[in-house]
């Protein structure tokens, strides 16, 4: 469950964060400041019309009470004015909504794009440590919270404030101060009581929701593990565990409902007391001849009219608190800075020959666990270097460092003599093409996924890249052809088909440097041989770094590095390393035996 800042921070700190989050709204309002001002103008006109209603009602009552002979003409005019004010209030309120709609939805659009851009700019470490669901919730909550705050501020809080100011001006200008004191004293008591009870209710509501989720999880968990429950005969234990949680939920639910009743009764009591006081004072003023009957109706109607929007104060307050908490999650996300940044004077990488060099590279993901130790090697232009080793030796880390997803702890990485920390990240990644071990595709068409490497490529170029990896015929045989949707993460394709797509789009990218990270791991032997032949043709004029598990795929490499626990243990060609009879030779012998065993099992299966 997401931590709630209401219970993890001091009230002072919480208020400071709330104001900071409210200030974060200003840039989104400033873009459409003309519309915002026009909407505010409509809001004021609507509230002027609303305050005018009890004034006209006073005139109607006074005219009827004071001169019954004139009621044929005068009340009709006043009644028409009454209706016009009601109509004006509705018209200007709707105009305000129309004008503010563009502000609201444009703000949501901009915030969503800004959040997505920021998430793309954050470094790989953040995305590996952060759960995808949490990122998705931050993105959704951020836009929703901005919309909620704008909605309540524009349509709930601000209208009430404007109406209060207009009512205060009306009461202070035409009536004794006692009426202003009673009206705003009642409103202040109503607001204070509502906020206090709402805060109390939220605590019980949060506990109730947590216990309800916990009870549901316990019940579902016991059903999922049905066989285990039966093995140990713990049906009664599971029931008692769930019932214990439900007992806490029951108590919280009862307190939540009781607090709602207390809230409703308290609000009604405050309104009743306020109205009674107003009537007592107004009746005394009428009896003394200092006020008319219409004045009594006016101040009473004004008080009731002010209470109408306050009926939803508890809900509005709660939703604003939730929105501010969700907004705070997003603000904190924006406070996360990218781990990898371009240098202030960074220029674009210039690739002429494509030489790749690692010089005494040390690297640690965490300070207490070093991954690479003094790794040095050079890949001349147009040459192929293969890196082999056991899992966890640091092979894939080399590719991540080359793409500058992380910066080296010490040493440096150079492309054509340029330290990749001194050039822009975009230009480094544009010069490198990679076929990863785990190919993840977009939930879109095959054409979209292939063209992703170079969106401006022609359909003929895309088909040519697909032919190079023996993918075109497979696609052409599909009912929808290149318009076939591959499913989420490419789940509608086999592992081999996904790797062919990855290889084809790397070919389409036309990079100067190629990285193959277990590029044929999901292919069968026959397909692997065909793909390897295509890869050799593609890599002929490229600087190539191959990270491999199957040693048979890299026997033609110009140089092979053997990594063990992050250190280069052996280095040389395939033949040189076999003659050394070291770690590489042991790996080769072991894989040959495994291959022979698999072949024997296959033949036996055919018999």
**Domain spans of the chain, in order of start:** 1-174+321-339, 176-290, 356-606
DSSP state of 558: S
The predicted structure's pLDDT at residue 1: 36
Report the alpha-carbon distance of residue 342 to residue 344 in Å, rounded: 6
* Contacts (Cβ under 8 Å, ≥6 apart) of 159: 43, 46, 47, 309
- Domain 1-174+321-339 belongs to what topology? ABC transporter transmembrane region fold (1.20.1560)
pLDDT score of 604? 64
**Which CA distances in Å does 44 have to 60, 155, 165, 254?**
24, 12, 11, 42
Q: Which DSSP symbol is given to 393?
A: S
The pTM (predicted TM-score) of the whole model is 0.68
At residue 348, the pLDDT reads 93
DSSP 77-129: HHHHHHHHHHHHHHHHHHHHHHHHHHHHHHHHHHHHHHHHHHHHHS-HHHHHH
CA distances from 31 to 25, 36, 38, 583, 605 (A): 11, 9, 14, 65, 72
pLDDT at 6: 41
Q: What is the pLDDT of residue 131?
A: 60
What is the pairing mode between strands 384-389 and 356-366? Answer: unpaired
Mean pLDDT in order along the chain per 10 residues (607 residues): 42 62 71 81 85 80 63 66 86 86 82 83 77 64 75 77 80 81 84 82 76 83 84 87 89 83 85 84 82 80 75 73 74 82 91 92 88 93 90 87 92 94 92 85 90 90 88 90 86 83 88 84 65 70 86 88 92 92 91 77 59
Are the C-beta atoms of 451 and 508 separated by less than 8 Å? yes
356-606 topology per CATH: Rossmann fold (3.40.50)
| 437 three-state secondary structure | coil
- Looking at residue 13, what is its pLDDT? 61
C-alpha dist (Å) from residue 127 to 123, 269, 381, 564: 7, 54, 33, 27
Structural contact between residues 168 and 306, judged by C-beta atoms closer than 8 angstroms: no
Q: Which CB contacts under 8 angstroms, 24+ apart, belong to 257-261? A: 259/197, 259/200, 259/201, 259/204, 260/201
pLDDT for the residue 68: 54
**What letter would DSSP give residue 489?**
G
Sheet hosting strand 369-379, strand order edge to edge: 369-379, 356-366, 410-415, 418-419
**In degrees, to the nearest 5, what angle opens at C-alpha 240 toward C-alphas 237 and 242?**
110
* Cα separations in angstroms, 85 against 161, 246, 301, 304, 569: 20, 53, 15, 18, 88
């Amino acid at each position: 469950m997401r931590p709630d800042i209401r219970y993890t921070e001091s009230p002072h700190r919480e208020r400071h964060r709330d104001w900071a989050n409210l200030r974060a709204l200003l840039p989104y309002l400033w873009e459409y400041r003309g519309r915002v001002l026009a909407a505010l103008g409509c809001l004021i006109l609507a509230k002027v019309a609303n305050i005018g209603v009890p004034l006209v009602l006073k005139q109607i009552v006074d005219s009827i009470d004071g001169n019954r002979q004139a009621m044929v003409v005068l009340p009709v005019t006043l009644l028409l004015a009454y209706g016009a004010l009601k109509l004006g209030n509705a018209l200007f309120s709707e105009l305000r909504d129309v004008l503010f709609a563009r502000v609201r939805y444009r703000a949501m659009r901009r915030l969503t794009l800004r959040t997505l851009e920021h998430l793309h700019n954050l470094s790989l470490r953040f995305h590996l440590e952060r759960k995808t669901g949490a990122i998705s919730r931050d993105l959704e909550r951020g836009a929703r919270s901005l919309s909620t705050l704008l909605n309540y501020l524009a349509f709930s809080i601000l209208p009430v404030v404007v109406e209060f100011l207009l009512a205060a001006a009306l009461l202070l200008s035409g009536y004794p101060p006692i009426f202003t004191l009673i009206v705003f004293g009642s409103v202040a008591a109503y607001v204070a009581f509502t906020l206090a009870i709402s805060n109390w209710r939220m605590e019980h509501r949060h506990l109730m929701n947590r216990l309800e989720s916990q009870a549901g999880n316990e019940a579902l968990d016991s059903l999922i593990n049905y066989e285990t429950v039966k093995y140990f005969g713990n049906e009664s234990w599971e029931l008692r565990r769930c019932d214990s949680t439900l007992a806490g939920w029951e108590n919280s639910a009862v307190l939540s409902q009781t607090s709602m009743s207390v809230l409703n009764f308290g609000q009604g009591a405050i309104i009743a007391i306020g109205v009674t006081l107003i009537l007592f004072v107004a009746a005394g003023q009428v009896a003394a001849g200092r006020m008319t009957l219409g004045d009594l109706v006016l101040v009473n109607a004004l008080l009731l009219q002010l209470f109408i929007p306050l009926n939803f104060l508890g809900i509005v307050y709660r939703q604003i608190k939730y929105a501010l908490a969700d907004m705070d999650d997003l603000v904190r996300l924006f406070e996360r800075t990218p781990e990898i940044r371009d240098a202030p004077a960074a220029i674009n990488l210039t690739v002429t020959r494509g030489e790749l060099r690692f010089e005494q590279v040390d690297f640690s993901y965490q300070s207490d666990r070093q991954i690479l130790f003094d790794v040095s090697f050079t890949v001349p232009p147009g040459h192929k270097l293969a890196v082999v080793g056991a899992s966890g030796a640091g092979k894939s880390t080399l590719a991540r460092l080359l793409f500058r997803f992380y910066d080296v702890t010490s040493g440096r990485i150079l492309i054509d003599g340029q330290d990749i920390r001194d050039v822009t990240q975009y230009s480094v990644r544009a010069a490198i093409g990679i076929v990863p071990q785990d190919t993840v595709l977009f939930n879109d068409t095959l054409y979209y996924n292939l063209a992703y490497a170079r969106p401006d490529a022609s359909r003929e170029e895309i088909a040519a890249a697909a032919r190079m990896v023996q993918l075109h015929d497979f696609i052409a045989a599909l009912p929808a052809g290149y318009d076939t949707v591959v499913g989420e993460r490419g789940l509608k394709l086999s592992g081999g088909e996904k790797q062919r797509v990855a290889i084809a789009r790397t070919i389409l990218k036309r990079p100067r440097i190629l990285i193959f990270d277990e590029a044929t791991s999901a292919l069968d032997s026959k397909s692997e041989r065909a793909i390897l032949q295509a890869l050799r043709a593609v890599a002929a004029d490229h600087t190539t770094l191959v990270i491999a598990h199957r040693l048979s795929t890299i026997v033609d490499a110009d140089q092979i590095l053997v990594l063990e626990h992050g250190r280069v243990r052996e280095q040389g060609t395939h033949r040189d390393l076999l003659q050394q009879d070291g770690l590489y030779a042991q790996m080769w012998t072991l894989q040959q035996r495994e291959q022979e065993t698999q072949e024997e099992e296959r033949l036996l299966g055919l018999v």
